[in-house]
Structure 1
């Protein structure tokens, strides 16, 4: 394995820990711990929503508090916070402490969002950087596969599952400590000019809607399956979602073949379809297809919006990263905050139909014509 591929592999397993294992395991294990921890739908939705806010704070911290810190060290701090947050989840006997742990995990995931982008920019050959960044995001899918298999093995015993996640995270942290390179800090451009923020107003609106449209699926799709005849297979549905996420790594290649506008429209349509397919009928094959499609398109869309922002904010790449991920997280915060209340009123079918419509609206906010001339 050459140095560049080794770096991408190291990034994939780190993202598997920071996102898949640490951040998204909440939705998978929610049906198992909400009773013992005295959670209602509103409380679970609120905890998830606040974790999106801490995710934003973690993202911003890289460009403020930790702006003079090596990207490698940012990632190691993120890893230590993940381990601390996971430890709180294992020790929790009430939703308050559990919620604090989830919020810490949100902050750690935010810290892990941008440093790899800078490392790849310095260490990977120009022309292969978009593909490398797209493959990094497949770490989300890998993490989902891992946690699905772990939860299936422990048959819903969530404390054992989280303890296993801690062990795996320690191993991943050690690998990254050995393999992550130091980069030339002089090349990192943290400069921003706030006058240009709304130049990407369509990007902002689109990413907010994407965040809203995906939020209910992340938080409640497992809870929905748990109420069907297939509840014994809930963790395996999570595995299929993760397998779909691994396919999302082809976003870079799709961008080269079809262009930004086509794959942007495809993303919005597919996310809407995934939400509807989940509740259309209680057919295991259709529900599995929904999870594969959602996992693939979620990872795929992260690549799409990263490509778009990098071409909008050429002179201020840090601003492009912040705008993309902050607006995505803001949409997820809004969507998650209201999802618990919508669920109480409409039930699962109404919830996923509402969010499929919101996913569909993203296709109305496409790149400007003058932007396309440069894409």
Structure 2
């Protein structure tokens, strides 16, 4: 029964750290730009700070997983989210905004790996994939919530981020009360992985990098693009994040799908759908139906894809699930950091149509990678 309690507190924490703290920037960007009048390249660089912070935090989270309890790391995640959201809400120039985005981005890297360890220690094996996938789907809940709040608050982005900060405080308190206090620390240091494990992880690492680069354009610029398309109703731009978030709840089924049909079928379906969502936006954005179909595909496939990467990573590094989750997420975020910067430059030079079409091609290339002799346990 503990897996249900873990999902009840873990899903909201992921919703706060990923949805509210990290991906909300793309949602709020049109309103922030009205206040700060930033160039698209500047917006891309600021977006990349979130991913860079994520990379730093997830490395620290993995390295210290054998020295600091999972609960303590999650407390750090909650505190960095609270501080980052608070700074964003009072930011008055791009530099201060960037600082807030960076601190909020740290929370995402600190939040994911500890849950993998807690799940391994407290949830029976047959339910671990599903539990990890459902906790991971908190990204969708957070994304849908940020979209709904943005609609209600219109362009009051500072007040919106203040509300997010208050929510983050309550979620941190809930996790502090529910999560196990005395979890054993792993004695194994993260340096003892075999050459065979790294060999089997190579396709996973390359796939994660390309997928991170591919999806970064969507997270950062899709909503801004929707607002600029004359033939698309304004309400589609306003509801874009809600559509992405609600559709993303389907991604919580990734663990069940993998258990029933296998890892590679799940991977290929998610990558095809994810890449197609960008292709539709880049080539057929003028059609209203695409304004619904593209974000629905993106939301469901992104969460599904990250759930698949969790299962893939843990199956490769079976001796340390925190590391197995952290590696693909680290590389995914590295790709997103690179992609955010490049996306801003491409948007400035060639426009959004070329940006999203190019992003889809990079995603399709990731289909060439496959699992190497790893059994899902």
Q: Quote the residue 1:244 is aligned against.
A: 247
Q: Quote the residue 1:148 is aligned against.
A: 147
Change (3 A) 1:321 1:284: same
Identify the range of structure 1 (226-235 vs 184-193) with the bigger mean alpha-carbon deviation: 184-193
- CA distance in 1 between counterparts of 2:329 and 2:207 reads 12
Aligned counterpart in structure 2 of residue 351 of structure 1, from 342, 352, 355: 355
Q: TM-score, normalised by structure 2?
A: 0.94
Residue 325 (str. 1) matches residue 329 (str. 2):
yes
Q: What whole-Å deviation, never above 9, does each CA across 1:64-99 have from its counterpart, x for those lacking one?
A: 356422211111111111111111111111010000
Q: Quote the residue 2:293 is aligned against.
A: 289
- CA distance in 2 between counterparts of 1:121 and 1:344 reads 46
Report the 3-state secondary structure (helix = DSSP H, G, I; strand = E; otherwise coil) of the residue aligned with 1:366.
Answer: coil
Residue 278 (str. 1) matches residue 281 (str. 2):
yes
- CA distance in 2 between counterparts of 1:23 and 1:67 reads 27
Aligned-pair distance for 1:190? 4.4
Change (3 A) 1:76 1:316: closer
Q: Quote the residue 2:61 is aligned against.
A: 62
Identify the range of structure 1 (277-286 vs 95-104) with the bigger mean alpha-carbon deviation: 277-286
Residue 202 (str. 1) matches residue 203 (str. 2):
yes
Q: What whole-Å deviation, never above 9, does each CA across 1:186-235 have from its counterpart, x for those lacking one?
A: 45754333653344111111110111111100000011111124334423
- CA distance in 1 between counterparts of 2:312 and 2:88 reads 37
- CA distance in 1 between counterparts of 2:146 and 2:280 reads 23
* Preserved contact between residue 57 and residue 110 of structure 1 (Cα < 8 Å): yes
Q: Quote the residue 1:87 is aligned against.
A: 86
Change (3 A) 1:319 1:14: closer
Report the 3-state secondary structure (helix = DSSP H, G, I; strand = E; otherwise coil) of the residue aligned with 1:315.
Answer: coil
What are the ranges of 5 or more consecutive residues in structure 2 without an aligned counterpart? none
Change (3 A) 1:94 1:235: same
Report the 3-state secondary structure (helix = DSSP H, G, I; strand = E; otherwise coil) of the residue aligned with 2:146.
Answer: helix
User: How do 1:130-279 residues align onto structure 2 when only pairs under 5 Å count?
Assistant: 130-187=129-186, 189-193=188-192, 196=195, 197-228=198-229, 229-279=232-282
Identify the range of structure 1 (317-326 vs 293-302) with the bigger mean alpha-carbon deviation: 317-326
Change (3 A) 1:127 1:58: same
- Note the aligned Cα RMSD (angstroms): 1.8
* Preserved contact between residue 66 and residue 186 of structure 2 (Cα < 8 Å): no
- CA distance in 2 between counterparts of 1:135 and 1:190 reads 28
- CA distance in 1 between counterparts of 2:343 and 2:368 reads 23
User: How do 1:333-372 residues align onto structure 2 when only pairs under 5 Å count?
Assistant: 333-368=337-372, 370-371=373-374
Report the 3-state secondary structure (helix = DSSP H, G, I; strand = E; otherwise coil) of the residue aligned with 2:214.
Answer: helix
Identify the range of structure 1 (25-34 vs 273-282) with the bigger mean alpha-carbon deviation: 273-282
Q: What whole-Å deviation, never above 9, does each CA across 1:250-307 have from its counterpart, x for those lacking one?
A: 0011112221111111122111111122241323332222111111111111111111
- CA distance in 2 between counterparts of 1:172 and 1:304 reads 26
User: How do 1:40-55 residues align onto structure 2 when only pairs under 5 Å count?
Assistant: 40-55=39-54
- CA distance in 2 between counterparts of 1:182 and 1:104 reads 26
Count of residue pairs the alignment pairs up: 372
- CA distance in 1 between counterparts of 2:11 and 2:187 reads 22
Q: Quote the residue 1:21 is aligned against.
A: 20
* Preserved contact between residue 202 and residue 366 of structure 1 (Cα < 8 Å): yes
Residue 76 (str. 1) matches residue 75 (str. 2):
yes
Report the 3-state secondary structure (helix = DSSP H, G, I; strand = E; otherwise coil) of the residue aligned with 2:112.
Answer: coil
Aligned counterpart in structure 1 of residue 304 of structure 2, from 278, 300, 303: 300
* Preserved contact between residue 53 and residue 103 of structure 2 (Cα < 8 Å): yes
Aligned-pair distance for 1:143? 0.3
Q: TM-score, normalised by structure 1?
A: 0.94
Q: What whole-Å deviation, never above 9, does each CA across 1:134-189 have from its counterpart, x for those lacking one?
A: 00111000001111111100112111211111122122122112212224224575
* Preserved contact between residue 226 and residue 232 of structure 1 (Cα < 8 Å): no
